[in-house]
Amino acid sequence: MDTGFFWDEMKRRQVFKEHDVSFYEVVSAFDDQRGLDLPDPQHHEDRYLLVGYTVTARILVIVYEALDEAIYRIITAFDAEGAYRHAYEQE
């Protein structure tokens, strides 16, 4: 089964402008076999964090919702720093 991703266009533009993160980079992080999938620390029960390595050699934190088994709504993405980067590097 194919996996699908979507991102609100206005939010995608905002994230690209503020964090220089493209949709292509975000999707590539989901292929990282070492990626960390974590529950959202803000306690949104339907949201998750992925800390993953991208095809552009960046480690990103991606906030997303799993709408069903194969559909993900991207909420935001930014460079992993601090505890997120440390957790990824220790994994």
Domain boundaries, the chain: 4-90
Integer CA distances (angstroms), 36 to 10, 17, 53, 84, in order: 27, 25, 10, 9
Greatest mean pLDDT among 3-7, 8-12, 50-54, 72-76 lies in: 50-54
4-90 sits in which CATH class?
alpha beta
In this structure, how many other beta carbons lie within 10 angstroms of the beta carbon of residue 9?
Answer: 9
Q: How confident is the model at residue 2 (pLDDT cuts 50, 70, 90)?
A: low
CB 63 within 8 A of CB 75: yes
* Dmax (CA) of the chain: 35
Q: What is the pLDDT of residues 22-32, one digit of tens each?
A: 999 999 999 99
CA distance linking residue 7 with residue 72, whole number of Å: 9
The model's pTM: 0.88
Whole-number percent of the chain with pLDDT over 90: 67
